[in-house]
Amino acid sequence: MASVNVQQGLVLGMSTLAFTVCFMVWMMFAVLGVPVKELLQLNETQFGLLAATPVLTGSLIRLPLGLLTDKCGGRIVFFILMLVCVLPIYMISLATEYWHFLVLGLFVGLAGGSFSVGIAYVAKWFDKSTQGTAMGIFGAGNAGAAVTKFVAPAIIAAASWQMVPKVYSAIMFITALLFWFTTYENKAHRVPSSVSLADQLRTLKDPKVWRYCQYYSIVFGGYVALALWMTKYYVAEYGFNLQTAALLAACFSLPGGVLRAFGGWMSDKWGAHSVTWWVMWVSWICLFLLSYPPTEMVVQTVNGPQNFHIGLSPTVFTVLLFVVGIAFAFGKASVFKYISNDYPENMGAISGIVGLAGGLGGFVLPIMFGALVDLTGVRSSCFMLMYGVVWVSLIWMYLSEVRKTPMMGSGAQSPLPGDA
């Protein structure tokens, strides 16, 4: 039997790999949806629904999977989840109608539920002082969104879009087998059989849980939504081809995943509140700048009318998007540091609830992005919407944590800044 340290390392490493692959699959339509949109002549709202459909099931399944993880253990739940996704992924290569993609997308989306399984599975292998870092390393599997932006365009260029789901289904199957044969289960990590479903769900009455849901709906939901939307945004707004657009979009997706581990370390060192507070402010400022649409102005001067153009160049736009990706990476880790501090014995259920909220944000936002573009004709309206959501989070955080004002009728006190 391997030592505890070896078991911890294998569980963390293989869980991170498995989650990366699951996230690759979950974000597949971020790239695959572009040629499908052209093939089926979809409008912006239809594309938003297509891209977001896998996110819906991946979100709704998070809570039940989190509960199952607490009861049955993360190893078996993670393994079965990956196997269940293999066939639907492959069948996307055979789809020809819009409804085919939507239905199969619902099944493929189950892969997104892997987060609530893996985060609870990994966290229970580490003590409180290192949980934030461990969860951050696991959460770096979000970088699967960036991996898709490198891999999928290359496959499409080399073969066809139908080859992407075929390759991804094979990768998922191999990863599932590797995960099963290289990880461990500790039955002591499961909740006692005497704990009922009602006991696990009782924490829904805690206003802190809803606040964490709000934070996660933007730092994770916004991350997912932009990861799905940015490839097409670059194509439509700046006229790049698919490969270049996907590469530039990865400038957001990659730091938004990889740096989550650093965000976990920061949360261990400075506290969940301090990190989340600054994440919201940086995101708010960047989203304000990204929201401004390209504008032509005519100014009457002493020398006559002068034309001015105000707009973000691709370089400035990508830099701002990169900063948002970094902020969201830190925020995703800090929110779960809150959870590990406040609910150490109920990680599966709480991570499922908060993950559900974040995933639903990732489902609703792309559809709203498309609807806003169809209604207003302004592509940067997606950033206007996210700017508003971040503003809500900042106000809520200020009133409930900075000012210590009871929220939602509760007198519960949140930790002081830096003590979370």
- DSSP states of 343-357 as a string? -TT-HHHHHHHHHHH
* DSSP assignment letter at 126: S
The beta strand positions in 64-134, using DSSP E, are none
Residue 401's pLDDT is 81
Residue 104's pLDDT is 94
User: Rounded CA gap, 41 and 43, in Å?
Assistant: 7
* 218 closest CA partner among 401, 25, 397: 397
CA angle 291, 286, 268 (to 5 degrees): 145
Q: Of all residues in the chain, what percent are helix, strand and coil, respectively (each to 5)?
A: 80, 5, 15
The angle that helices 4-26 and 163-182 make with each other, rounded to 10 degrees, is 160
- DSSP strand pairing (304-310 vs 295-301): antiparallel
User: Rounded CA gap, 282 and 138, in Å?
Assistant: 24
pLDDT per 10-residue tile (average), the chain, 420 residues: 81 94 90 89 87 86 83 90 95 93 93 87 83 83 84 90 94 96 82 60 75 89 88 89 87 78 83 89 95 87 85 91 92 85 74 82 88 90 93 89 54 42
Residue 195's pLDDT is 57
Q: CA 334: distance to chain centroid?
A: 14
Whether this prediction's pTM lies above 0.85 is answered by no
Residue 406's pLDDT is 43
Question: Would you state the structure tokens that stand for residue 89, as one six-digit string?
Answer: 């992924």
* 324 closest CA partner among 214, 211, 220, 213: 220
CB-side neighbour CA atoms (13 Å) of 48: 22
Count H helices, E strands: the chain? 19, 2
Q: Are 332 and 142 in contact (CB under 8 A)?
A: yes
User: Rounded CA gap, 13 and 310, in Å?
Assistant: 46
Domains annotated on the chain, with CATH: 4-183+206-402 (1.20.1250.20)
Residue 412's pLDDT is 40
CA angle 365, 366, 372 (to 5 degrees): 85
Residue 71's pLDDT is 81
Residue 201's pLDDT is 64
Amino acid in position 362: G
State the distance between the two ends of the chain, measured CA to CA, in whole angstroms.
36
Amino acid in position 200: Q
